[in-house]
Amino acid sequence: MQSQGLQTLDYLVFLFYFVVVAGYGYWIYQRKQALITTSNDFFLAEGSLTWWAIGASLIASNISAEQFIGMSGNGFRLGLAIATYEWMAAATLLIVAIFFMPIYLKNKIFTMPQFLAQRYSPSVSLIMAIFWLMLYIAVNLTSILYLGALAITTISGIDVTICMIGMSVFAVIITLGGMKVIGYTDVIQVFFLVLGGLATSYLALTMVTDRFGGSGVFDGISHLLNKAPEHFHMILNKDLGPDGKLLNPNYPSLPGLAVLVGGMWIINLNYWGCNQYITQRALGADLNTARNGILFAAFLKLMMPIIVVLPGIAAYLLYKDGMFQTEMLKDGVLNQDSAYPVLLNLLPTGLKGLSFAALTAAVVASMAGKANSISTIFTLDIYKKYLNPTADEKTLVRIGRIAVVASMVAAVVIAPLMGIDKKGGFEFIQEYTGYVSPGIFALFTMGFFWKRTTSKAALFALLGGVTFSIITKFIPTWTGLNDTMFYTAFADETGTMMIPFMDRMGWVFIFCIVSMVVITLSDPESKNNPQGLEIDAKMFKLSPTFIFGTVVICLFLTLVYTYFW
């Protein structure tokens, strides 16, 4: 099956997608423009998003090139174990809906720095706002843009820089309409994302069937299970061979039980519960609507491995059997992130255009959401507070739109310089985000549930967490100790001994929590901390529908982890 590039029908399908999304976005913009009278309307779509729009927008903003390209590439290398990011996210979303959202909404929190200023101090808020802006632009936005552009270049042959500029312009068009336009166009984006993603999964499984015999996708799944059993373990083992080396060299990426009881929870809870980019979708709704939207997103999360991981495993089996020997190479070296674009390039005419639209939808929707969050934090937490405190609402909306364009330009310029394709896109994002995640999650958690926590403790967790994250990366090199009761270090791609980043996150989080407790208890004034939050048990009461959905999701997760342990 040879690639023929994009054909006329593919371009027509893609054009249909573009016209539908842009047209619907413009219609929403015109319809809601009269209602955008305040910055909250622009940044939060306050009271406008339904539960299904919130859920769809959460997924559209989350699923992007890092999943389609990066996670599929990890599926090629690691197998189903990488799906733990998606399935554990479903469980995490339930925790966020139950415990985090009531606190945010009761205290009328619109941005994460606002929460930190209200709970701790303006200094903590400002430092965190700067951290978030740097992280969103230099890691998240650039990764989404660059990985998406690489995939589209592989499919279309269009220059990667032109692809980045084109997607940025498309994302800006959507973002300038505010959160109302983003939220409702994300519903269409998710439709194309899921439909096109399923088409690629269908192709991959059909190719496996054609290669090894049988008919239909179920025979393809059977071949994957029988011929690549090493790719169907959710928990990787730390078994060593006679030479003392890991039998499974992928273990450091997903270090055993850490995905169930360790760093994976920190990654997910910080991302879904303490992340402006994500929580912004629900902050403008009432509690019941927000919870139902998050529950809907959790159900959508359960199916994501079918779309983003299964194709990578199929590509691995086909590669192992002699296919894609040239296509999977980049500069003469096997490149895991080529797995999804290679499969996408083999789709028949028409379906290729649909999957091309799905990938573009994922990238553009995620970029739009990220740019909107960058704009929100800069405008409300930096510009309004420190640069122009007297700015009126019209000025704030204008500055927000300027920030959108500026962040996109910055991403286009620096994306090629970040070395995103060297490690694997998905792990690139997770590891670099992991430097700040433990400290952020620690100060949010303590701020929520321990009234005595002081701003000094929060500031130490924020700065000390990042510092300790960097230090722990080099502890094995400095000490020469690779296997202790606290950690086991493994050689990375350069041969340097490193503690797996997921384990490092766990130890940094514990360090931050213990430090915050000690600093707070040493301050006698913390006993009467006026900035502590009042928490009422009634805030956490759940509806029967939400309870039923929670039980279904928990049962599903129990079954898949038991079966594929």
C-alpha triplet 204, 208, 209: angle, nearest 5°: 115
- Lowest mean pLDDT of 320-329, 407-416, 546-555, name the range: 320-329
pLDDT of res. 280? 67
C-alpha triplet 189, 195, 197: angle, nearest 5°: 95
Average pLDDT score over residue span 198-204:
85
pLDDT top residue among 241 and 476: 476
Write the CA distances from 12 to 7, 174, 199, 530, integer angstroms: 9, 21, 17, 61
- In 3D space, the residue among 550, 564, 560 whose CA is nearest the CA of residue 87 turns out to be 560
Average pLDDT score over residue span 428-456:
83
Average pLDDT, the chain: 81
Q: How confident is the model at residue 1 (pLDDT cuts 50, 70, 90)?
A: very low
Q: How confident is the model at residue 424 (pLDDT cuts 50, 70, 90)?
A: low
Average pLDDT score over residue span 287-314:
90
d(CA 152, CA 160): 8
pLDDT of res. 32? 55
Q: Enumerate domains of the chain plus CATH numbers.
A: 8-210+278-426 (1.20.1730.10)
The beta strand positions in 86-142, using DSSP E, are none
SS3 of residue 333 by DSSP? strand
SS3 of residue 531 by DSSP? coil
pLDDT at 300 over 80: yes
| Greatest mean pLDDT range, 58-62, 139-143, 539-543 | 539-543
pLDDT of res. 185? 65
Contact yes or no for 57/386 (Cβ under 8 A): no
Q: How confident is the model at residue 277 (pLDDT cuts 50, 70, 90)?
A: low
Helix axes 84-95, 287-308, angle to 10 degrees: 170
pLDDT at 286 over 60: yes
The per-residue pLDDT for range 371-409, each reduced to its tens digit, is 888 888 888 888 888 888 888 878 888 888 888 889 889
Average pLDDT score over residue span 19-23:
76
pLDDT of res. 421? 59
- In 3D space, the residue among 297, 301, 289, 277 whose CA is nearest the CA of residue 102 turns out to be 289
Q: How confident is the model at residue 537 (pLDDT cuts 50, 70, 90)?
A: confident
pLDDT top residue among 483 and 317: 317
- Fill in the amino acid letter for 283: L
Place of tokens 């792990």: 427
Contact yes or no for 367/340 (Cβ under 8 A): no
The verdict on pTM exceeding 0.95 is: no
Query: Alpha-carbon Rg of the chain, whole angstroms?
Result: 23
| 498 bridge partner residues | 490
pLDDT of res. 2? 47
| Number of residues assigned to the chain | 565
| Greatest mean pLDDT range, 190-199, 289-298, 330-339 | 289-298
Write the CA distances from 39 to 44, 227, 365, 394, 395, integer angstroms: 8, 56, 21, 8, 9
- In 3D space, the residue among 373, 379, 374, 381 whose CA is nearest the CA of residue 395 turns out to be 379
Classify burial at 233, counting beta carbons within 10 Å of its beta carbon; exposed 0-12, middle 13-18, buried 19 or more. Answer: middle
- Lowest mean pLDDT of 120-134, 196-210, 460-474, 482-496, name the range: 482-496
Return the structure tokens found at 271: 């991302």
- Lowest mean pLDDT of 195-209, 243-257, 370-384, name the range: 243-257
Contact yes or no for 423/391 (Cβ under 8 A): no
Contact yes or no for 522/90 (Cβ under 8 A): no
pLDDT of res. 422? 58
- Lowest mean pLDDT of 44-58, 198-212, 523-537, name the range: 44-58
pLDDT at 167 over 80: yes
Contact yes or no for 458/131 (Cβ under 8 A): no
- Lowest mean pLDDT of 254-268, 320-334, 397-411, name the range: 320-334
